[in-house]
Amino acid sequence: MHPELFHIGSIPIRSYGVMLAISFFLGVLYVQKMTKRDGRDFDPFLIIAYIMILGGIIGARLAYVLTHLSEFSNDWTATFNPFASNQFGIAGLTLYGGVLLAIGGTFLFCYIKKLNVLAIFDYFAPTLGLGLFFTRIGCFLNGCCFGTQCDLPWGVHFPPGSIPYQIFGDTAIHPAQLYSSLYGLVLFVVLHLILRKKAFVGQVVAVAFMSEAFFRFVIDYVRYYEQVMYISVFGLQVTLNQVISFSLFVTGIAIYVIQSRRKAAHTELRTS
């Protein structure tokens, strides 16, 4: 655990923020390279990148605040004030809140500019894996998004003073952040290979939705959550993220089936 990398004067530069910035930077470079390969104008993609970055941060923070209202009851300025805790930075983000707002903002932009939103998402989909790879390392260094108790040889111990230690003490817990980071790297490679030779528009983002939804649903069984993040669905205790994951998986299936059928119908029409 190493939440602060260094200081600039009295301002600490936090590990998670650095990893987040690296993921954004490399994600934009990746999209630029792939659009250039295909001879597409990068300018609208750059605007969408800004929308995704801004929407991702705001949405992730907003989702965290809405599910942790009691933390801000005494000081509502702390919701988005980076100096509220007497140090620079905002602690507390919920990934899917950022994903949903980023997707919504992109849909709106594509609708206004009359762009094919699925074609756009295909280029950005691999950057989801890239982002997970870096930001989950940031989570591990920061001591957040940690796992539950673990009896396996690779269980980790967080130091006194950290949030995991406050909850589990010196008990070994799952390195859930590193599970997610490794998954993100695999996801990036798989989606990149699909993007290079995709069979139809929307294939890459459909696979991304299904893969991310399945992994997130599974990883939540070994990740620690406060009780406020659990809800009851037909008598089963599931997390809010698992509910969103299920919806994301269904969306991915729908995109894949509809777009593959359209491609098949178009091919049949051309050959008939």
Contact 248, 213 (CB under 8 A): yes
Among candidate residues 176, 96, 91, the one with its CA nearest the CA of residue 128: 96
CA distances from 187 to 5, 48, 155, 193, 204 (A): 27, 22, 24, 10, 11
Residue whose C-alpha is closest to residue 177's, from 155, 147, 148, 153: 147
Note the pLDDT of residue 90.
57
Q: What is the overall mean pLDDT for the chain?
A: 88
Asked whether residue 209 carries a pLDDT value surpassing 70, the answer given is yes
Judge whether residue 269 has pLDDT over 70: no
Angle among Cα 136, 42, 260 to the nearest 5 degrees reads 75
pLDDT of residue 166: 93
Q: What is the predicted pLDDT for the residue at 125?
A: 96
Query: Which pLDDT tens digit goes with each residue over 76-94?
Result: 666 665 555 555 455 567 7
Reported as a single tens digit per residue, the pLDDT across 101-154 is: 888 999 999 999 999 999 999 999 999 999 999 999 999 999 999 999 999 999
- Give the chain's domain count: 1
Mean pLDDT of 161-184: 95
Amino acid at 187: L
User: What's the whole-model pTM score?
Assistant: 0.86
DSSP state of 162: S
Say yes or no to pLDDT of 55 above 90: no
Judge whether residue 243 has pLDDT over 50.
yes
* Residue tagged 């939103």 (tokens): 117
pLDDT for 88:
47
Can you give the residue range of the structural domain that contains 91? 4-271
The pLDDT value given to residue 229: 80
Is 95 a residue whose pLDDT tops 80? no
Residue 215 has pLDDT above 80, yes or no: yes
Q: CA dist 230 to 61, 67, 100, 221, 235, Å? A: 19, 10, 19, 12, 12
Q: Which range, 6-15, 79-88, 95-104, 203-212, is most confident?
A: 203-212
Distance CA 234, CA 251 (A): 21
pLDDT for 183 beyond 70:
yes
